[in-house]
Amino acid sequence: MLPFVRRVCLVAGVLALTATSRPSAEAPRSFALTNVRIVPVSAPVIERGTVVVVDGLISAVGPSVAVPAGVWRLDGDGATVYPGLFDALSEVALPASASSTAAAPRAAGGGAQPPSAPVARGPGDRPASTPWEHAADALRPDDPRIETWRSGGFTTAMVAPRRGLLPGQGAVINLAGERAGEMVVRTPAAFLMTFDAGGGFRSFPGSLMGAISYLRQVHLDADHAAAAEEAYAQGARGRARPEYDRTVRAVHESRAARRLTLVPAVTAAQVARAVRLGREMQVSVGVYGAHEGYAAAPLLERADVPVLVSAKWPEPGRDADPEADQPLRVLRLRDKAPSTPAALAAAGVRFAFYSDGLGGPADMLAGVRRAIEAGLSRETAVRALTLTPAEIFGIDDRLGSIEPGKIANLVVVRGDLLDKDATVTHVFVDGLVHEVKARAGQKGRDARPDRRPTRTTPAEGATEGGAR
Amino acid sequence: MTRSLRAVAAAAIALCAAPAAAQEPAASSGTTFAITGARIVTLAGPVIDRGTIVMRDGRIVAVGPDVSPPEGATVVDGTGLHVYPGFFDSASQLGLTEIGSVAATNDFAEAGDMNPQVVAIAAVHPSSDHLPVARANGITHAIALPARLGGGGGGAAPAIIGGQASAFSLAGWTVEEMVMAPSVGTVVVWPTLATRGFDPATSSPRQRPFDEVKQEYEKKVASLEAILDAARRYREAAGGQAASGVRDLKLEALGPVVSGARPLLVYANAERDIRNALAFTAREGVSMVLLGGDESWRLARELAARAVPVILGPTQALPVRADDPYDTPYARAGMLREAGVEVAIASFNSADSRNLPYEAGHAVGYGLAWEDALRAITIVPAEILGLAGEVGTIEPNKRANLVVTDGDPLEIRTAVMHVFVNGVPQSLSTRHTRLYETYRARE
């Protein structure tokens, strides 16, 4: 389409940029979004105002700001603009082998335990450990899921590998870009740790107690190795050469940098365990899953642990036996899990939502609506999709709200973002507008992901009464 | 092996064999025995407070308060003791398995899905150490079930038709001496819809889609329907004889089932499985006895209406569902009985068969009448399995299978004083007592 035609549209005063799926070089990275309702998240709502973006950064926000000369003027026609939405833990843009839920059991070991891997016999074999791997180094900008999520208003995600005991390190990325490097907002953004080696009981550790003892050992080894390397660097003569161990080195570096360590925890007991282990290992812990967070809110508040709440509320699987026993424990969790965000908010716990394998943005926002029905305020819900995750990952200085100086990740919506019939009309990532594909992620539910062999992760297992 | 070692080995074998032989029953048919002055719970009429039982040639010949032992009878003084009909473990693996984890000692299941021609008694091992142990606690006869019970989960799926269940006495040198009825019914292990299983390839739990499991289940039920249909045609075509000259033992074996002469003994525990099995047998017009029946209490009314008797598994068990009351396994016999269902209780085991009276006794504390509990391990299973003419009560002409105790036999502190099987007093020495004596004598 010719730029000339586009200009005509704009002149017509309707915000109807019909951009190609990839923004062309002519698309403006400087523009003024006028006549919009602004939800800055960090400040009160501006009923009618203007957002000015210059070179991909927000330069001014307010009810009456001067539009600099030379920037394009886009009339919002009364639509609402929010900060771009943030999925706090995702596998978008990662190859299937690095993610957990998308991977077939054992078939893809995420580098941790490929099928041909020798069976681990003890902690010295460093089983299911790839903490040196960075999601940022594995990004696939051509992943079609990027567009699916972006079309639903999600401009940002923290993506991380999740297979193995020490799966690797996550990165916050913007959901647009031709090259992996331009997508990355911050890396590493989080350090992942789980209790599931995924190797069955034949390989160490085949049990929860084995997994925890291993993680303890690795953290102790990290202390020792750091001290030994330091001493060796001071004077090598007469000293035994410390062994190079990339697992231990990555653990040590992450801990020294006070990086957020994300641990899966669904039940209150698992939350308590994560908090205790974090304290013991002297790492700053965040938990993800947290469906029983309604019963753990005071503990989380006391320990100042941020929480990533899975928006995939527990429900019987599509393939489940319709007459299967439904224990009260499971029914209670199904019933009360959506009240977790409200309980966390009331207790003053920082929390953000994450997609947890949901098929797309419509499913995720439907999950957030259930939390609202269960008592969460809309304001807090929007914050948990924007500014709070940015705070949790230490990037609230660059995105998460509509403020001057921040990255121009914006979503323009007809109606209220969290209403069922809201329509995302435009998504800006780094100041570039992106076409919203024909309601793909808008009306009704998202297309279901392919049916895959099911294998419950520890988090899901706990929600639906599975193993472990 | 050197000569001297061989000699030592031979001596050791002789030493081991001696006590084993000593505890085997004396083959003394033709002898007359009498128990005098005992309280007799006949289950065929009122309790006889002080009476005598006379046994000859394996049968009871007289019982009553005024009966006196005939000349030459070997008399057991029953003063202060209680006599009951011998207990009937009406669903067991006695004789079919010795040690579950030693494959060579397990002989309860044939390969393949449909084995109606297999008869359990052929595999019963008369020298099994479990037989004297059970017998010493009053179990005088039992049913051997040819089936892999509690299937699903790991391991091979159980056969659908396991074979024919056999009734036998717990005394005898050979299977021929022991057998009471080679076939009391055909065992069907009802295919269960289990989405949760175990994947041996990854040694981890695995969840299967319900649709897939259901399809598999429907195929199994269809195959069961097909074989019954074939048996019906075979029977009509051959009139019991093979007109074509080609005999099919499988279809022949199902003849009594499709003719209604013998029941299908359907092993099913989950409510849905039981419901499906009930519908199936109604559709097929075959008579059914429910075996296992963990959740049969949920269908008590249906079972009563259909007059389907239940041979329940042990009361000493965990509830099936996470939120079932803790006492569900104790209470289900009482609930079924209250609804009017015929209830027997069995061990479904070999090593634990000895606990049969306590399995029944435990139900007494949870709603089952004491006499119904006793009947559940004596006359009721005999009636259910067509053996009421042989065993189950203390009456003339029945087999002289008796247990003599110093108190209530359902009570764990009661001692068994004498056990008669086919009119012959049995040694109460067992592997347990031998080990007890061995280690008691240890310096």
Q: What is the 3-state secondary structure (H, E, C) of chain A?
A: CCHHHHHHHHHCCCCCCCCCCCCCCCCCCCEEEEEEEECCCCCCCEEEEEEEEECCEEEEEECCCCCCCCCEEEECCCCEEEECEEEEEECCCCCHHHCCCCCCCCCCCCCCCCCCCCCCCCHHHCCCECCCCEHHHHCCCCCHHHHHHHHCCEEEEEECCCCCCECCEEEEEECCCCCHHHHEEEEEEEEECCCCCCCCCCCCCCCHHHHHHHHHHHHHHHHHHHHHHHHHHHCCCCCCCCCCCHHHHHHHHHHHCCCEEEEEECCHHHHHHHHHHHHHHCCEEEEEECCCHHHCHHHHHHHCCCEEEECCCCCCCCCCCCCCCCCHHHHHHHHHHHHHHHHHHHHCCCEEEECCCCCCHHHHHHHHHHHHHCCCCHHHHHHHCCHHHHHHCCCCCCCCCCCCCCECCEEEEECCCCCCCCEEEEEEECCEEECCCCCCCCCCCCCCCCCCCCCCCHHHHHHCCCCC
| Domains, chain A, ordered by start | 85-398+453-463 (3.20.20.140)
> What CATH number has the domain bearing residue B417?
2.30.40.10
Please state the rounded mean pLDDT for residues B111-116.
Answer: 92
* pLDDT for the residue B385: 98
B382/B440 same-domain check: no
Q: Does A240 touch chain B (CB under 8 A)?
A: no
- Pair (B413, B356) in one structural domain: no
Percent of chain B with pLDDT over 70: 89
- Examine the predicted complex and report whether its ipTM is higher than 0.85: no
Please tell me whether residues B248 and B385 are part of one structural domain. Answer: yes
Same structural domain, B410 and B379: no
Question: What is the extent of the structural domain holding B306?
Answer: 87-391
Between CA B264 and CA B230 the distance in angstroms is 16
Which residues partner with B345 through β-bridges? B312
Nearest C-alpha neighbor of A177 from the set A92, A71, A99: A92
Same domain, B432 and B409: yes
State the pLDDT at residue A138. Answer: 95
Residues B427 and B283 in one domain: no
In a mutagenesis test of the A interface, which of B198, B202, B203 is the best target, namely the one with the most A β-carbons within 10 Å? B202
Option in B195, B204, B320 nearest A320 (CB): B195
In a domain, B347, yes or no: yes
User: Can you tell me the mean pLDDT for B357-371?
Assistant: 97
- CB-CB: which of A200, A321, A329 is closest to B322? A329
**What is the count of structural domains for chain B?**
2
Residues in chain A closer than 8 A to B209 (CB atoms): 319, 451, 454
Residue B67 and residue B52 in contact, taking contact as beta carbons nearer than 8 Å? yes
Name the residue with higher pLDDT: B140 or A460. Answer: B140
Task: Among B391, B406, B429, give the residue marking a domain's end.
Answer: B391
Assigned domain for B250 exists:
yes
The two tokens of residue B245 are: 């000259």
**Residue B121 in domain:** yes
Chain B residues with CB-CB distance to A323 below 8 A = 272
Residues of A in contact with B211 (CB under 8 A): 319
Determine, for residues B211 and A319 on separate chains, whether the beta-carbon distance falls below 8 Å: yes
For residue B202, which residues of chain A lie inside 8 Å, CB to CB?
105-106, 200
How many C-alpha atoms does B208 have within 13 Å on its Cβ side? 17
Provide the chain B residues 282-341 that lie in CB contact (below 8 A) with chain A.
320-323
Domain membership flag for residue B4:
no
The pair phi, psi for residue A341, each rounded to 5°, is: -60, -40
Nearest alpha carbon to residue B58 among B401, B427, B382, B404? B401
CB A76 within 8 A of CB A39: no
* Residue B126's CATH number: 3.20.20.140
Q: Is B210 on the interface with A (CB under 8 A)?
A: yes
Residue A307 structure tokens: 């929480």
Do A105 and B204 count as a contact with CB atoms less than 8 A apart? yes
Q: Is A450 on the interface with B (CB under 8 A)?
A: no
Which chain A residues touch B191 with a CB distance below 8 Å? none
Asked if B211 is an interface residue toward chain A (Cβ–Cβ < 8 A), one would say: yes
Task: Test A320 with B202 for CB contact under 8 angstroms.
Answer: no
**What strands lie across the sheet with A169-174, from one edge to the other?**
A85-90, A154-159, A169-174, A184-192, A260-265, A284-289, A307-310, A351-354
| Residues A364/A87, Cβ–Cβ less than 8 Å | yes
**What six digits make up the tokens of B330?**
């104790």
Among B348, B370, B391, residue at a domain's last position: B391
* Nearest-CB residue to A200 (from B202, B321, B323): B202
Residues B280 and B258: their CA atoms lie apart, in Å, by 13
Nearest-Cα distance to chain A for B270, in Å, is 10
pLDDT band for B239, please (50, 70, 90 cuts). low
Does the residue B2 lie in any domain? Answer: no
Question: Among A319, A325, A465, whose Cβ lies nearest the Cβ of B209?
Answer: A319
Q: Which residues are CB-neighbours of B167 under 8 A, at least 6 positions away?
A: B141, B142, B143, B179, B180, B181, B184, B385, B387
One domain, residues B103 and B75: no
Q: Give yes or no for B213 touching A (CB within 8 A).
A: yes
**Nearest CB partner across the interface for A322, out of B203, B210, B321:** B210
Specify the pLDDT at position A113: 45
- Return the pLDDT at A431: 93
Same domain as B385, residue B277 = yes
Task: In whole angstroms, give the CA distance from residue A52 to residue A67.
Answer: 7
Over range B160-176, report the average pLDDT: 96
Contacts A317 to B, Cβ<8 Å: 207
Which of B193, B203, B206, B207 to probe by mutation at the A interface, max A CB count within 10 Å? Answer: B207
CA distance B321 to chain A (A): 6
Q: Please, which residues 272-301 of chain A have a Cβ atom closer than 8 Å to chain B?
A: none
**Below-50 pLDDT ranges, chain A:** 1-25, 98-116, 440-445, 447-468
Asked whether residue B10 is domain-assigned, the answer is: no
| Whether residue B134 is found in the same domain as residue B155 | yes
B385 plus B399 within the same structural domain:
no
| Residue B14: inside a domain | no
pLDDT at B316 > cutoff 80: yes
Q: Which of A101, A318, A325, A329 to mutate to test the interface with B (most CBs of B within 10 A)?
A: A325
**B201 and B299 share a domain?**
yes
| B15 within a domain of the structure (yes/no) | no
Binary contact (B193, A325; C-beta < 8 A): no
- Chain A with chain B: Cβ pairs closer than 8 A: 48
In chain A, what residues touch B205 (CB-CB under 8 Å)? Answer: 456, 466-467
The residue type found at A116 is S
| Residue B383: partners with Cβ closer than 8 Å, 6 or more residues away | B342, B392
Q: HSE, CB side, 13 Å, CA atoms: give it for residue B73.
A: 24
Q: Give per-residue pLDDT as tens, B248-267.
A: 999 999 999 999 999 999 99
Residue B4: is its pLDDT beyond 90?
no
The verdict on B210 and B174 lying in the same domain is: yes
Buried b (16+ CB within 10 A) or exposed e, B359-372: bbbbbbebbbeeeb
Contact B393, B128 (CB under 8 A): no
Nearest chain A residue to B205 by CA: give it. A467
